[in-house]
């Protein structure tokens, strides 16, 4: 009779031990002081998280794995690193060029402007008459290419706190370009970079490294300049005046084949009256004479000694469109530009009686 009672006692003891162990696992751990209501210490955990999120210790994610990435050598750009000569690099002293100041324009009253037309022209420096624009030489005042002269003039003015370059969004000189905006404008594609894979010569499927090529605009790629000018017949002087308002270097837009030209777009605009003082200190290349007969760039523009063709005008153009949007044939476009030039010229001639 005692054996069933003893078996029941052992079963109850085992059940009590199991319940006690399960309850101990559910309760929080107690400290040595016996305080079971104390919150767990999170200081160590926070320090650990801070250490793991430190940029210096966290390894950044590399989408290319363990393959090395290199920067390709920079090609192009408008970095003018010309060193000045430590001696007089000429037989005659031409240092007086730095002190040249252009003459002020003759004042034109609005009431005396009997006739006014605005004209946009493109100067293609690949033409023989415009080859001085591409003259590649180094002088004490820097690179002699015309586009480099413009870039250097803008940078020098920005260092002095003056801005003379305007955004290419419009040709009305509405938005100044600061240093960041100007460098982005002349960087060619906005400073875009492409990553190209370099494969092993022995194993075409194995990538050895990646090379990052950043898009830089080469000064020699600028082959056109756009000028905005205004023709005014002044009845007081009884003559026609032409004043250049702005100059813009044009970037060529190339098709997918890399050869076909699809158009041009301005990089930035410069208000020409702000540029005259700088152009007066640069000489134009003369292939026939390297002496004192060389004129300055300011004199070249004022004397109209460059070749160009009209792309737009305010004459008989109520829709304010470019000629290319009205005429598809390029030859007929050139003829229309000559027609506009003749109309402006004949207006002055027809005022005279012989």
Q: Write down the pLDDT at residue 209.
A: 83
Q: Which residues of the chain have pLDDT under 70?
A: 1-65, 71-76, 80, 188-192, 213, 215, 258, 290-293
pLDDT of residue 58: 43
Contact 242, 230 (CB under 8 A): yes
The answer to whether residue 35 sits within a structural domain is: no
pLDDT at res. 46: 47
User: Does residue 134 fall inside a structural domain?
Assistant: yes
- Asked, for residue 84, whether it belongs to a domain, the answer is no
Residue-level pLDDT at 31: 44
Distance CA 178, CA 167 (A): 10
> Is 122 a member of any domain?
yes
Answer whether residue 243 is part of any domain.
yes
* Token reading at 265: 């777009």
pLDDT value of residue 120: 98
Q: Is residue 321 part of a domain?
A: no
**How many domains, in total, are found in the chain?**
1
Tokens of 286: 């003369």
**In terms of residue numbers, what domain contains 125?**
100-187+218-307
What distance in Å separates the CA atoms of residue 40 and residue 350, rounded to the nearest whole number?
A: 100
* Per-residue pLDDT, 36: 46
Does a structural domain hold residue 228? yes
Hey, what's the torsion of the CAs at 98, 128, 246, 117, to 10 degrees? 130
Q: Is residue 246 part of a domain?
A: yes
Q: How far apart, in whole angstroms, are the C-alpha atoms of residue 297 and residue 281?
A: 8
pTM beyond cutoff 0.75: no
DSSP letter for 103, please. P
Cβ neighbours of 281 (radius 10 Å): 18
Residue 270, pLDDT score: 97
pLDDT at position 59: 45
* CA–CA distances in Å: residue 186 to residues 191, 247, 268: 9, 15, 8
As given in the structure block, the two tokens for residue 327 are 């005429």
> How would you label 149-181 residue by residue, b for 16+ Cβ within 10 Å and e otherwise?
bbbbbbbebbeeeebbbbbbeebebeeebeeee
């Amino acid at each position: 009779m005692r054996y069933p009672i003893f078996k029941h006692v052992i079963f109850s003891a085992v059940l009590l031990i199991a319940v006690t162990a399960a309850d101990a696992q559910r309760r929080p751990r107690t400290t040595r002081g016996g305080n079971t209501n104390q919150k767990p210490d999170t200081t160590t955990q926070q320090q650990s998280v801070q250490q793991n999120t430190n940029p210096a210790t966290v390894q950044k994610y590399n989408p290319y794995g363990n393959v090395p990435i290199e920067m390709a050598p920079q090609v192009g750009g408008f970095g003018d690193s010309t060193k000045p000569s430590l001696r007089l690099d000429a037989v005659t002293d031409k240092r007086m060029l730095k002190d040249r100041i252009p003459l002020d324009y003759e004042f034109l009253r609005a009431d005396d402007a009997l006739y006014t037309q605005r004209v946009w022209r493109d100067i293609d420096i690949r033409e023989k008459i415009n080859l001085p624009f591409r003259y590649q030489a180094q002088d004490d005042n820097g690179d002699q290419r015309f586009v480099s002269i413009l870039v250097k003039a803008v940078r020098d003015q920005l260092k002095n706190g003056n801005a003379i370059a305007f955004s290419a969004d419009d040709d009305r000189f509405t938005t100044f370009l600061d240093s960041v905006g100007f460098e982005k404008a002349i960087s060619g594609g906005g400073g875009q970079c492409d990553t190209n894979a370099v494969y092993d010569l022995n194993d075409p499927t194995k990538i050895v490294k990646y090379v990052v090529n950043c898009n830089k605009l080469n000064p020699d790629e600028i082959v056109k300049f756009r000028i905005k000018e205004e023709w005014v017949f002044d009845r007081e002087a009884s003559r026609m005046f032409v004043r250049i308002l702005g100059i813009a270097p044009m970037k060529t837009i190339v098709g997918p084949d890399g050869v076909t030209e699809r158009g041009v777009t301005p990089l930035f605009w410069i208000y020409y009256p702000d540029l005259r003082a700088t152009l007066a200190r640069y000489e134009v290349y003369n292939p026939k004479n390297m002496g004192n007969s060389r004129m300055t760039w300011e004199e070249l523009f004022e004397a109209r000694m460059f070749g160009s063709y009209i792309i737009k005008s305010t004459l008989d153009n109520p829709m304010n469109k470019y000629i290319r949007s009205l005429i598809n044939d390029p030859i007929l476009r050139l003829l229309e530009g000559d027609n506009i030039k003749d109309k402006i010229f004949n207006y002055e001639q027809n005022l005279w009686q012989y």
